[in-house]
Chains A and B, each alone.
Chain A
Amino acid sequence: MTYTSINFIFFVLATALIYFILPWKKYRWTVLLAASAIFYCLASYKYAVFILFTALSTLLIGLWLDKVNTSSKALLKSKKGEWDREQKKAFKNKLKVKKRWIMALCLILNFGILAFLKYYNFFAGSLNDILGSMRIDFSAPTLKLFLPLGISFYTFQSMGYIVDVYREKVKPQTNPFKFLLFVSFFPQIIQGPISNYSQLGHQLFEGHDFDFTRFKYGSQLILWGFFKKLVIADRAVVAINTVTATAQGYNKYSGTTLTFTILLYAFQLYADFSGGIDISRGVAQLFGIDLIDNFKRPYFSKSINEYWRRWHISLGAWMKDYIFNPLAISSAFLNASKKMRGTKFGKTKAGAHIAKVLPTAFASLIVFLVVGIWHGANYKYVAFGVWNGGIIMLSILMQPLFDAVTDKLHINRGNFFFRLFQMIRTFIVVLVGYVFDVAPSFNQGMMTIGRFFTDQSIERGRAEIFKLGLDWKDYVLLLVCVVVIWSVSMIQEKHSDTTIREMLDKKPFILRWLVFFFLIMAVIIFGIYGSGYAASDFVYMQF
């Protein structure tokens, strides 16, 4: 049951009906839990054991951490007069180590499952390559492994929870069923957003009353998501899949076609992922639950750093909270910075800057390496991470140089054309990163970048582009959709304090309804659905 199927619509409506007519408000969360369980089992009942294990292990370890916290606090309280400062410090350090080990147990267990299922074959293959090149007669077996639905998303969400419990930012959940709902909430299980417990937990468990406005806004958001996914993403993906269908076939396309494919991919990926998130957020909103927004017009970003604050926001926030910040303030990184400051180079202006931002720069590189690997077990994703992390690292390290050049050229940073230049520059950097997403392998990604410069032929490109499964009418439709999305994004950018839905609500009734009417008809007529079309999975579902 995909989010864009008729069955899902009926499933959501039935769940909403039961949820709102249930007279005991405090138990309404059980309806969401039952719906989530049904949704998960219908999609992947064979692998439900994995999500159950994650939920249970995280819950128990969370409770264990809490117990350790509570008992140690009680002990500290009881020893208030007895222990001196040193004893207290020693106790706290010991406690910290103990808590870390408990947390690490949870992280190792759950990330271990994810890593095994997602990366075992990748590492086994790499190991075999290395051993082979060293002429060592050993071969790690490759296994037929399947990824349980949403494993990346629920694992990250659960591990975020355990870190928050460790940091005592949240009180642990004691009800296993409530916690299972937090881990498996059906609108977000396929592709996020990755929510944190303090933001989502209480919303799930408190019984919401039916609110017409929220229901209306939720439905409108779902409709917009359907438009993006069915009309744009699933249309564009036909051409992209044709180009990438086989590794050999991919090599035969001209640089022009490959450039076009990468551009199309940028559009398709945005429509697919943000469309899916709109559906998720819309469905949650029907029940009175606000999921965090995962996108903020990413292609309007003026730097790659900004892009990653606007794209897949929940993953970015997770990485920042649980990897970047701990790394950037880790003693190893801070010591390295300190050491550099003590050197001769560190005493120069440039050296001082580099020493100052070194922890941030390296932490960024590592974070993006993790982001790259998170996308998949393939060297091309490693390259994707290194490219993005490397650019961010360079931009942090060389910021004073860029500033100096900008000043020297007397460029007004607020100037429209300069901002436009920054946006286009950032978009190009993003596109280069996408090359590694699209290309079947790392080598082919590198080849594609080479072809950008050496194999441009409008004639060949034109001939090839119309053989990718889309005709000129489809391309015209996609172009119209680009204009629509761009216009909507412009409005959102200008009025970031409100939503388009709220703005539309203030417009005359006829105009409002015409907009929704045309949107519904556009989905019905131009959507890619029904038999004869294999419904495309959401791109981020595979991650």
Chain B
Amino acid sequence: MKKKLYITRGLKLLSFGLAVVLLTLLLQTFLLKRIDNNTMRMEAFYLEEKNTVDAVLIGASDVYAGYSAPYAYEKYGYTSYPYATQSSPANIVLPQIKEVLKYQNPKMVIVEINAFLYRDSELPNEASARMFADNVPRDSIWRDYLKDAIPEDKQIEYYLPIIKYHSSWNEYPWKIKYLNAELGLKQRGYSLFRGYKTVANEFHCTTKIYNDEIKDKNDTLPLAVNGERYLRQTLEYLKDNNITNVMFMRFPHIVSDSAYNRFKRCNEAARIIESYGYDFVNLERHGDWAGIDVNTDYYNWDHLNIYGSEKVTDYVANMLQTKYGITKTELTDKQVAEWNDSVNYYHMIYNYSQEMIKRRLELGKTGNGGTTVSEDEKSINTIKQYARNHPGEGKYEVILDDEEES
């Protein structure tokens, strides 16, 4: 009798505990988590079919704002992806390279070196690291990263992110725009924007800048301790494992007084990279190689707008094809249709952003600011709405999914 009572109680408790655990896991997986354009970009990378991405660009926001994979696909025919998160820190670059090489077999991996250029005093915070760590598969690379970068007592919050993000209930209903977009992404199986994000603005700087004067400047400043440590660690890993399909780049930035030391650190980083035998291209110094115009091609100090990103994409594509021999990939009809869908969306982004920039210029707004366009529900609806209202402006009208809209 007593035994039966114990068994019943045990089963009841077990089922209660299971229900609590299950609901907690559901909440942490779908509702109570960090979700923004970085989440979408990282998740979408893992939705790309294995070994279908020809080139991957690793870096921070300057990469996903300065390079358009759909545009490259449309114009040059190869597939690519910006595996980039906002303010990504130096210690995630190597895990990012490992991730990319584990889940894809790209012909070239381009590493934008922004992560190595931070001073020790301005190292990106936990949120920046989490944009990577929260959104990648819980594999051995991820576990190694935690061991290396996260204090032991904090690691539990990565295994059980609800400890960190339970308070994100407060972000609703604002967050629904990403939640719906994420559900759409998972259902669809591919990203509409292929990681691209922009801000519709044409930034005119009003202070002294040095972009025209630095083309021949080779003065250097030492990297921060952590910056150099992780850069060398990355290079040594690449060299030790004989990984040759990796090159390094510096994307264009406006070099002002406050960014001048960063430019010098960039020169130092270039010296280190080249000493390991890897290629390095500095478009911050040689913006003219890509035809960058500081007066029209930025949306703020560090990020290119739609005009600038097309120029850099052209430059990167030409470089990949002429110097590294990257050619068009054979894709299935389904994959082609999916990429074409992204091209369609890119046109909508471009036309909408162009119009917004025009309007801002008419209003004399040339400082920081502008309309953000990322793969969230609000942006998607806005650009679609704009496309519907301006059917003659781009190629998108032929591919617009009218059924969905109705």
Contacts and interface: CB of A to CB of B under 8 A. Distances in A.
Nearest to A516: B16
B187 interface: no
Contacts of A531: 126, 154, 157, 163-164
B360 interface: no
B12 to A, nearest CB: 8
A528 B167 contact: yes
B101 interface: no
Contacts of B23: 521
Interface centre among A212, A513, A525 (most CB of B within 10 A): A525
B9 interface: yes
A59 B395 CA distance: 90
Interface centre among B27, B167, B170 (most CB of A within 10 A): B167
Contacts of A513: 16
B164 A525 contact: no
A529 B169 contact: no
Nearest to A526: B169
Contacts of B157: 530-531
B281 interface: no
A213 to B, nearest CB: 11
Contacts of A528: 167
Contacts of A102: none
A138 interface: no
Nearest to B20: A520
B235 interface: no
- Which interface class (under 10, 10 to 19, 20 to 34, 35 or more) fits B? 10 to 19
B27 A517 contact: no
B166 A517 contact: no
B24 interface: yes
Given A520-B20, A524-B24, A525-B32, A530 B163 contact: yes
A129 interface: no
A471 interface: yes
A212 B170 contact: no
Contact of B170 (A473, A520, A533): A473
A528 B24 CA distance: 16
Main secondary structure of the interface of A (DSSP, over half): helix
A530 B130 CA distance: 15
Interface in A218-243: none
- Which interface class (under 10, 10 to 19, 20 to 34, 35 or more) fits A? 20 to 34
A532 B157 CA distance: 11
Contacts of B166: 524-527, 529-530
Nearest to B156: A6
B19 interface: yes
B162 interface: yes
Given A212-B9, A525-B27, A531-B157, A517 B164 contact: no
A531 B32 CA distance: 15
A259 B193 CA distance: 51
Nearest to B17: A520
A536 to B, nearest CB: 15
A474 interface: yes
Contacts of B126: 531
Nearest to B9: A212
Interface string B122-164: 0000100000000000000000000000000010110000111
A212 B164 CA distance: 33
A175 B270 CA distance: 73
B164 A530 contact: yes
Interface string A506-521: 0000000100110011
Interface in B93-122: none
Given A212-B9, A473-B170, A524 B16 contact: no
Nearest to B23: A521
A528 B169 CA distance: 12
Given A525-B27, A531-B157, A517 B19 contact: yes
A229 to B, nearest CB: 15
Contacts of B20: 517, 520-521
Contacts of B164: 530-532
A243 B162 CA distance: 30
Interface string B2-28: 000000010000001001100110010
A391 B192 CA distance: 71
Interface in A358-392: none
Contacts of A471: 170
B32 A517 contact: no
A530 B153 CA distance: 11
A157 B81 CA distance: 67
Nearest to A235: B167
Contacts of A533: 167
A509 to B, nearest CB: 8
A527 B23 CA distance: 16
Interface in A289-339: none
Contacts of A520: 20
B169 A525 contact: yes
A524 B32 CA distance: 11
Interface in A486-543: 513, 516-517, 520-521, 524-533
A542 to B, nearest CB: 25
A513 to B, nearest CB: 6
Interface centre among A526, A530, A531, A533 (most CB of B within 10 A): A530
A529 B163 contact: yes
A419 B180 CA distance: 53
A525 B24 CA distance: 9
Nearest to B24: A524
A297 B334 CA distance: 67
Nearest to A533: B167
Contact of B16 (A212, A474, A517): A517
Contacts of B9: 212
Nearest to B28: A524
A238 to B, nearest CB: 11
Contacts of B167: 528, 530, 533
Interface in B147-201: 154, 156-157, 162-164, 166-167, 169-170
A473 B171 CA distance: 10
Contacts of B24: 521, 524
Nearest to A523: B166
A118 to B, nearest CB: 32
B165 to A, nearest CB: 8
Nearest to B162: A524
Interface in B248-281: none
A483 B27 CA distance: 26
Interface in B36-63: none
A136 to B, nearest CB: 50
A474 B126 CA distance: 25
A513 B170 CA distance: 26
Nearest to A532: B164
A335 B369 CA distance: 81
Given A517-B16, A524-B24, A529-B163, 14 more contacts: A520-B20, A521-B20, A521-B24, A524-B27, A524-B166, A525-B27, A525-B32, A525-B169, A526-B169, A528-B167, A530-B167, A531-B157, A531-B164, A532-B164
- The list of the 6 closest CB pairs from A to B, nearest first, reads A530-B163, A530-B164, A473-B170, A525-B166, A520-B20, A525-B169
11 contacts: A513-B16, A516-B16, A524-B24, A525-B27, A526-B169, A527-B166, A530-B157, A530-B163, A530-B166, A530-B167, A531-B126
